[in-house]
A = this chain, B = another copy of it.
Amino acid sequence: MSIASDMIRGHTDTIILAQLLQGDSYGYKINRAIEMKTGGKFELKEATLYTAFRRLEQMGWITSYWGDENTGARRRYYSITELGVENYYRMLNEWEASKQIIEHLIRPERAE
C-alpha cells in the first residue's frame, strides 16, 4: 500500500459525496474529475471507488440508477441523498477537528 492510500483512507467517502453535491454523476466521470482537480497527483483506484459506491448506497447516503445513453458504454449514475448531505457536513467537521489534532501531534513540542 502506498503512503497516500493510508492518508486518504477515511476521506474517500467524503470526496465522492463532495462530487455528488454538484449533481448526479457516474464512476468514470468522478474519477476523471478528481484527477483533473489534483492535476494528476491523485486518483481513486477503480476497485476503491466501486467498493465505496456499494458502501455508500448500503448506508443510504447515495442512490443509483442506470443512464439511458443510446450510444457508448452504459453508465450507472449516483445521487446524494438527504442523509448523505447530512453526513457529508458531519465529516467535513470531523476533518477540521482531526486535522488540528494531527497537526498538534506530529510536531515535536517546543521547550517550555
A interface list, Cβ under 8 A from B: 3-4, 6-11, 14-15, 18-19, 21-22, 34, 37-38, 41-42, 91-92, 94-95, 98-99, 101-102, 104-109
Contacts and interface: CB of A to CB of B under 8 A. Distances in A.
Given A7-B94, A9-B9, A99-B99, A105 B22 contact: no
Grouping DSSP codes into helix (H, G, I), strand (E, B) and loop, the A interface class, with mixed when no group exceeds half, is helix
B38 A104 contact: yes
Nearest to A104: B37
Contacts of A42: 101, 105
Contacts of A106: 11, 14-15, 18, 91-92, 95
Contact of A95 (B19, B37, B92, B102): B102
